[in-house]
Amino acid sequence: MRIGVFVCHCGTNIAGTVDCAAVAAAAQQFPEVVLAVDTPYACSEPGQRAIIEAIEQKGLNGVVVASCTPRMHEATFRRTVERAGLNRYMFEMANIREHVSWVGRDKKLNTFKATDLVRIAVEKLRYNRPLTAKSFAVNKRVLVIGAGVAGIQAALDCADGGLETIVVERTSTVGGKMAKLDKTFPTVDCSVCVLGPKMVDLAQHRKIKLYAMSEIADLSGYVGNFEVSIRRKATYVDWNKCTGCGLCADKCPSRKAPDHFNELVGRTTAISIPFPQAIPKKASIDASSCLHFLKDRCGVCAKVCPVEAIDFEQQDEVVKESVGAVVVATGFDLLDIRRFGQYGGGRFPDVVTSLQYERMLSASGPTGGHLKCPSDGREPKSVVFISCVGSRDRSMDRAICSGFCCMYTAKQAILTKSHVPDCETHVFYMDIRAPGKGYDEFIRRAQEEYRTNYVRGRVSSVYPKNGRLAVRGADTLLGTQTEVMADLVVLAVGAGAAEGSRDLAEKLRISYDAYGFFMESHPKLKPVETNTAGVFLAGACQGPKDIPASVAMGSAAAGKVMALFSKERLESDPQVAQVNAVRCVGCLKCLRTCPFGAIQEVQARDGSTKAQVIESVCQGCGVCTVTCTDRAIELQHFTDNQLLAEVNYLCRSWMEKSPA
Amino acid sequence: MPVMELSASQDRAFFEAVCAKSGQDLLRCYQCGNCTAGCPMQPYYDLAAHQVMRLVQTGQRKAALTCSSLWLCAGCGQCSARCPNQLDVALILETLRHMARRAGYNPQPRVAQFSRAFLKSVHSHGRVFELGLLLRYKLASGRLLDDADLAPRLLKVGKLHLTPTSTPGQAEVAAIFRRYEQGAGS
């Protein structure tokens, strides 16, 4: 083999604490190395040209670049060697920046370690073999999970781009959290008025198939060829017949069902349509409140329904769809208000969450848009808003800022004044976070034009006093304790991951953070991708986000899907596991440990059981290779021989020499 | 108020010492004021609890150690329970109190006089002898008639004994004091 070694200075990033010329000189003596040089910037155009020229002039058939992390430039250099006619896998990278120069100060020791890293790259390269990618066809249909504003946007953009789009929504209507809001900041325009047209477009788009009251049961397959099982939950109403006339809800005698759309403010009927603009506008029965299911009588809805749509015998049903990409847009949920006992959450009826308050302000809400205290129905004359409830609070393991609470709190203070002009409004805050367009001006309006009293400090407790609520906090700017009397206390409860998000992440094989929010592939450069190819993120499922950011991310995810589908065939990564059938004894431990379902059982011609890798599903994680007791399964490009060559050198050299 | 000359007055060693002695990372404090919000002694403080935290953060040794609040803290721990950053604020105040005593700052002499009278009584009897404590404190502070109106009620319910009562652990308590005097503390 004829190997060339290129040691990059990366300006002073590496050369500052590593003697690159010495590393190159040492590499010159390594086995099968015919050329070793140092270069100021290997990734620059002249740097790459030098590599190509060396390959051509010296007849190299393997290249090592010692520079930064492979996550940064491995793809760059693979293309470089390819341009010179080599197979891209005849290239190895030694990371002497993140692993050496950035973490050590001693130049002598750094040079020693960098030399070792170059040596093990050379040792591995000697066992490298050319690998070739395979290609497979792409199913150009997309699945969007969640039909809040982010999911709606992603679905509409995909469908407008000509893609067949499947939308799965867990509740009985699309619209998500945005449909529950009364108004939106900073324009104070009616939320459902701006969202409504998009909801209608979603329902009527001929490229979109909507599954409401449905959940993802299972997802298998891989980018370009996913198989998804969708569980359609029983609604006990035949939606093909239901016209959404609402007669059933009018006549339903069970009027104490929990009203989830209204955030449990007020009650609804056991058979109901969540709100007037619901899409699809279909009735569904809450079996836990329905007299037919509880006591086996009633059936009034079935009698009054003019189209005979009621079907008490309906069962959950699983349907299958095939798609090539998935957009996850499952949003967020507020933390449970009962966790905030010091504020009377869940104990005092007049302490509500911001989303409950939103429903109390809404004209389609349970109070018809008239502001009333839940305890006795009186009109509040003083409303206190508490910010950062469950946000930026390490004592609750919630160090994160939810990001949008400052803005909606200001909006709610403004709306309070327009509902009850003589109502006092107070906001307890720690810091105001309003970096969006027109956002800080909006906060100023709440204070200057709408006379909201902003108090800088946290609240320690809310307690009943003379039939009202006393809110005891601090005014840190004055250095005092502050107490305000309130008729209604609104908690700006922090945003958490949506219920069930961890389970969904397991099904989709994507990662989530400590709070249950889904992980993007790179925080800056791959914000909508996940580490599972073909699965993209949109909206607050990735972290709390306001409406403009969610919409933008929905469009971004759609853009990613369309870029993916712009190719007829996709290339698979050849760095996958491969079974040596002669060694395989068919124990199938690999099948059970594979986190991606990439291994299948096959019968050999002699009838024996063997494991087989589905190359397009395998992600190259290597779990199977360490599981296999017979060394029958190996990861291409990380074979036993390649790894042992590295280890052998390291162990041998360690015994022969040691750093001065 | 004069300008706080931060570059001249910031005592980083003091800040580090408070963190080290209390075992609390005061850089976590973001001045939300929840310690102040729940403090039952706040009406009597000269500086609110969060302001004391800020003085430590900015290395203002003298201002932090001379404030009265350190001596008026009841040690109830409400501040520590409420702190969103899990700082033991009451422990930080106690740390400062010890540092203040060693530095000779005593802005609330009666608190120290009471504490000394209390310890003396425990030293002598193994437990507190209320009447002795009372007399010792009143003589030291000169506040002879403070709370005198409570005496008849306390006598009536048997809370004020005229002679010290013995306690089984007297010898062990005396040993604690002996160990302290032999240099276990300073």
Q: What HEC string does A56-71 produce?
A: HHHCCCEEEEEECCHH
User: Cα(B112)–Cα(B114) distance, rounded to whole angstroms?
Assistant: 5
Phi first, then psi, for residue B122 (nearest 5°) are -65, -40
Q: Give me the CATH number covering residue A76.
A: 3.40.50
What percent of chain A lies above the pLDDT cut of 90? Answer: 93
Q: Whole-angstrom distance between the N-terminal and C-terminal Cα of chain A? A: 32
Band (B164; pLDDT cuts 50, 70, 90): confident
Q: Give me the CATH number covering residue A516.
A: 3.50.50.60
pLDDT digits (tens, 9 = 90+) for A288-300: 999 999 999 899 9
Q: Which residue has the higher pLDDT, A140 or B184?
A: A140
Question: Does residue A184 sit in helix, strand or coil?
Answer: strand
Are B32 and A430 inside 8 Å of each other by CB? yes
Based on the fold, state whether residues A216 and A268 are members of the same structural domain. Answer: no
Domain assignment present for residue A412? The answer is yes
Mean pLDDT computed over every residue of chain B: 92
Based on the fold, state whether residues A18 and A127 are members of the same structural domain. Answer: yes
Q: Give me the CATH number covering residue A607.
A: 3.30.70.20
Q: Is A394 within 8 Å of chain B by CB?
A: yes
Low-confidence ranges of chain A (pLDDT < 70): 653-654, 657-660
Nearest CA to A630 out of A576, A594, A585 is that of: A585
Mean pLDDT computed over every residue of chain A: 95
Phi first, then psi, for residue A400 (nearest 5°) are -80, 155
pLDDT digits (tens, 9 = 90+) for B72-113: 999 999 999 999 999 999 999 999 999 999 999 989 999 989
Domain assignment present for residue A643? The answer is no
pLDDT for A571 equals 87
User: Cα(A360)–Cα(A577) distance, rounded to whole angstroms?
Assistant: 57
pLDDT for A660 equals 47
Q: Is B86 within 8 Å of chain A by CB?
A: yes
Bridge partner list, A63: A4, A91
Q: Whole-angstrom distance between the N-terminal and C-terminal Cα of chain B? A: 36
Question: Does residue B58 sit in helix, strand or coil?
Answer: coil
Rounded to a whole number, what is the distance in Å from the CA of B48 to chain A's nearest CA? Answer: 6
User: Cα(A574)–Cα(A615) distance, rounded to whole angstroms?
Assistant: 8
Tell which of A510, A542, A565 closes a domain: A565
Q: How many domains does chain A have?
A: 5
Query: Quick one: tokens of A639?
Result: 């074979």
User: Cα(A36)–Cα(A10) distance, rounded to whole angstroms?
Assistant: 17
Are B85 and A475 inside 8 Å of each other by CB? no
Based on the fold, state whether residues A326 and A190 are members of the same structural domain. Answer: yes
Domain assignment present for residue A438? The answer is yes
Based on the fold, state whether residues A187 and A328 are members of the same structural domain. Answer: yes
Q: Write the DSSP string, A369-393.
A: T----TTT-PPPSEEEEEEEETSSB
Domain assignment present for residue A124? The answer is yes
Nearest CA to B67 out of B20, B40, B99 is that of: B99
Q: Could you give the maximum distance between any two Cα atoms of chain B, in Å?
A: 61
Option in B37, B42, B78 nearest A459 (CB):
B37
How many beta-carbon pairs under 8 angstroms link A with B? Answer: 72
User: Cα(B24)–Cα(B93) distance, rounded to whole angstroms?
Assistant: 11
Domain that holds residue A356: 337-493
Q: Which of B27, B30, B35, B36 to mutate to test the interface with A (most CBs of A within 10 A)?
A: B36
Based on the fold, state whether residues A127 and A145 are members of the same structural domain. Answer: no
Based on the fold, state whether residues A220 and A361 are members of the same structural domain. Answer: no
- Is the bond preceding A186 in cis, omega lying within 30 degrees of 0? yes
Domain assignment present for residue A283? The answer is yes
User: Cα(A534)–Cα(A88) distance, rounded to whole angstroms?
Assistant: 24
Based on the fold, state whether residues A589 and A453 are members of the same structural domain. Answer: no
Which whole number is the average pLDDT over B45-62?
Answer: 96
Based on the fold, state whether residues A170 and A285 are members of the same structural domain. Answer: no
Phi first, then psi, for residue A178 (nearest 5°) are -65, -35
Q: Indicate the Cα dihedral angle A24, A25, A26, A29, nearest 10°.
A: 110
Based on the fold, state whether residues A360 and A480 are members of the same structural domain. Answer: yes
Are A460 and B34 inside 8 Å of each other by CB? yes
* CB-CB neighbours of A209 under 10 Å: 16
Query: Quick one: tokens of A606?
Result: 């002699």
Domain assignment present for residue A642? The answer is no
Question: Does residue A516 sit in helix, strand or coil?
Answer: coil
Q: What share of chain A is helix, strand, coil (3-state, %, to 5)?
A: 30, 25, 45
Based on the fold, state whether residues A459 and A540 are members of the same structural domain. Answer: no
Residue A303: enclosing H or E segment and its boundaries?
A: helix A300-304
Report pTM: 0.85
User: Which amino acid, A152?
Assistant: I
Based on the fold, state whether residues A167 and A289 are members of the same structural domain. Answer: no
Contact A59, A2 (CB under 8 A): yes
Contact A7, A36 (CB under 8 A): yes
The whole-angstrom distance between residue B155's C-alpha and the CA centroid of its chain comes to 29
Based on the fold, state whether residues A77 and A29 are members of the same structural domain. Answer: yes
pLDDT for A498 equals 96
For every residue of A247-261, which 3-state class applies, written as one string? Answer: HHHHHCCCCCEECCC
Whether the predicted pLDDT of B168 surpasses 90? no
Place of tokens 């929990």: A258
Are B48 and A480 inside 8 Å of each other by CB? yes
User: Cα(A229)–Cα(A209) distance, rounded to whole angstroms?
Assistant: 15
Domain assignment present for residue A396? The answer is yes
B contacts of A461 (beta carbons < 8 Å):
37-38
B contacts of A430 (beta carbons < 8 Å):
30-32
Tell which of A109, A131, A153 closes a domain: A131
Question: Does residue A402 sit in helix, strand or coil?
Answer: coil
ipTM of the complex: 0.85
Domain assignment present for residue A101? The answer is yes
Whether the predicted pLDDT of B166 surpasses 90? no
- Is the bond preceding A280 in cis, omega lying within 30 degrees of 0? yes
